[in-house]
Chain A
Amino acid sequence: MTPVPIDVLDSHLRKFQKELSAGTVSLALLAVLGTAAEPMYGYQIAKRLEQEGEGVLSGKQSALYPVLRNLEGGGLLDSFVEPSVAGPPRRYYRITEAGREALTGWSAAWRATRDSVDAVLGDTK
Chain B
Amino acid sequence: MNATVLPTTIPEYLEQLRRSLAGADPALVQDALYDAEEYLRSELAENPGKSEAEVIAAVAGSYGAPDEVADIYRDTEVKVQSALRTPPSRPAAPNRSWAARFFGVIAEPRTYASLFYMLLALATGIFYFTWVVTGVSLSAGLAVLIIGIPFLILYFGSIRVLSLVEGRLVEVMLGERMPRRPLYSERGKPLLERIKELFTDPRIWATQLYFLLMLPLGIAYFTVVVTLLALSLSFLVAPVLVWFGVGDAGVWIDGVQIADWSTWQLPLLFVAGGLLLFATLHLARGIGYLHGQLAKHMLVKSAQVA
Residues of A at under 8 Å CB distance from B? 18, 22-23, 26, 41-43, 46, 50, 59-63, 65-67, 69-71, 73-74, 84-88, 90-91
Contact = CB atoms under 8 A, between A and B. Distances in A.
Contacts of B40: 87
Contact of A69 (B31, B39, B41, B69): B31
Contacts of B42: 41, 43, 84, 86-87, 90
Contact of A62 (B43, B63, B84): B63
A100 to B, nearest CB: 16
Nearest to A69: B31
Contacts of A18: 75
A71 to B, nearest CB: 7
B38 A41 contact: yes
Given A66-B32, A87-B44, A88-B34, 15 more contacts: A22-B80, A42-B35, A42-B39, A60-B63, A60-B64, A61-B64, A62-B69, A65-B35, A69-B31, A70-B81, A73-B84, A87-B41, A87-B42, A88-B38, A91-B34
21 contacts: A22-B79, A41-B38, A43-B39, A43-B43, A46-B39, A50-B62, A59-B62, A60-B64, A60-B68, A62-B35, A66-B72, A66-B76, A67-B76, A70-B84, A74-B84, A86-B41, A86-B44, A86-B45, A87-B38, A90-B42, A91-B38
Interface in B56-73: 61-64, 68-69, 72-73
A60 B39 CA distance: 12
Instruction: Give me the 7 closest cross-chain CB pairs, A-B, nearest first.
Output: A87-B41, A86-B45, A43-B42, A65-B35, A66-B76, A74-B84, A70-B80
A60 B71 CA distance: 11
A18 B74 CA distance: 13
Contacts of A67: 76, 80
A63 to B, nearest CB: 5
B113 to A, nearest CB: 30
Interface string B12-31: 00000000000000000001
B36 interface: yes
A7 B77 CA distance: 28
Chain B interface residue bracket vs A: 20 to 34
A18 B76 CA distance: 10
Nearest to A46: B39
A42 to B, nearest CB: 6
A48 to B, nearest CB: 13
B45 A85 contact: yes
A28 to B, nearest CB: 13
Contacts of B39: 42-43, 46, 61-62, 65
Nearest to A63: B72
A88 B80 contact: no
Interface string B103-143: 00000000000000000000000000000000000000000
A19 to B, nearest CB: 10
B191 interface: no
A41 B42 CA distance: 10
A26 B80 contact: yes
Contact of A43 (B38, B64, B72, B75): B38
A70 to B, nearest CB: 4
B62 A66 contact: no
B84 A71 contact: yes
A63 B84 contact: no
A90 B233 CA distance: 59
Contacts of B305: none
Given A66-B73, A70-B81, A73-B81, A61 B38 contact: no
B62 to A, nearest CB: 5
B88 to A, nearest CB: 14
Given A62-B64, A65-B32, A22 B83 contact: yes
A65 B37 CA distance: 12
Contacts of A42: 35, 38-39
